[in-house]
Amino acid sequence: NEKSKKTIRGFMIESYLADGRQNQPEVFGCSITDPCLGWENTEALVEEIYATLTK
């Protein structure tokens, strides 16, 4: 909506190559700290936000 277009200037998400997190670095591209969205989910989220804000 118009209010969102005027007030939203950016957003931040926890994103990495693979979804989730792990205790030991066993899976390449998976966070060892905070749970993260994987790249495919990040891409889909950004596209959805863009589509919503450009309606």
Whether 22 contacts 34, CB under 8 Å: no
Tally of structural domains, the chain = 1
Whether 9 contacts 30, CB under 8 Å: no
User: In this predicted structure, what is the pLDDT of residue 4?
Assistant: 75
Distance CA(30)–CA(6), nearest Å, equals 35
CB atoms within 10 A of CB 8: 10
User: In this predicted structure, what is the pLDDT of residue 26?
Assistant: 94
Tokens of 31: 């966070």
pLDDT in tens, 9-36: 888 999 999 999 999 999 999 999 999 9
Domain containing 34 equals 2-53
